Amino acid sequence: MLIIGIAGGTGCGKTTVVRQIIDELPNEEVGVISQDSYYNDLSHLTLEERRRINFDHPSSIDFGLLTKHLKELKSGKSIKQPVYSFLECNRTEKTILTHPTKVVIVEGILIMANPEIRSMIDIKIFVHADSDERLIRRLKRDVNERGWNLDETLEKYQTILKPMHDQFIEPTKEYADIIIPNNKYNTVAVEIVRSIINEKLAES
């Protein structure tokens, strides 16, 4: 199994890059696991308390479960991937049965901040976008899709998102094998990753 890690700051466009990479690849041979599915279970807290959690700190992620699941997939076992609700700021009771595939893409802002996860990743990719662009995307997403108001989102960006990015996310760029600028010029980098995946699939 080839494990590809895709990291980068909030709003940098990781999901778009994932779509570009897996476009035209056989669905049954490429799987995607999102770090967002592995936020800690916060059922013991109220919604108000959950909304105050710093979700951009590595301690907010259940890396133990993510590591366990990646190892199980690598050994040929299926897993029950958690389902997360951004509106409830918590895992739901649902899970997604995820089968092992020849290629697994793991994406998330903090996946390369964890040494054990990092050691399991065969190809490390960092998606880069300017901070202004990331802020605009995050504002649109949190306000339109996740029920936050504008003032809450701006305060969260200034007090949590930007400091966490500078402390935990940006430094992981040094571990990247490939840095992809998230703009119209990223075609070559995406094609390189896609060709590597195709070689892996051909070997199998």
The reported pTM is: 0.86
Do the strands 79-85 and 90-98 form a parallel or antiparallel pair, or are they unpaired?
antiparallel
Q: What's the sign of the alpha-carbon dihedral 19, 161, 70, 88? A: negative
Residues facing residue 95 across a β-bridge: 82
Q: Are 73 and 81 in contact (CB under 8 A)?
A: no
What is the structure's pLDDT at 26?
81
- Over the chain (204 residues), what is each successive 10-residue block's mean pLDDT? 92 83 84 95 94 92 97 97 92 94 95 96 90 73 72 80 91 93 73 86 78
2-203 CATH fold: Rossmann fold (3.40.50)
Q: Which of 120, 106, 114 is nearest to 169 (CA)?
A: 114
What is the structure's pLDDT at 14?
85
**What are the structural domain ranges in the chain?**
2-203
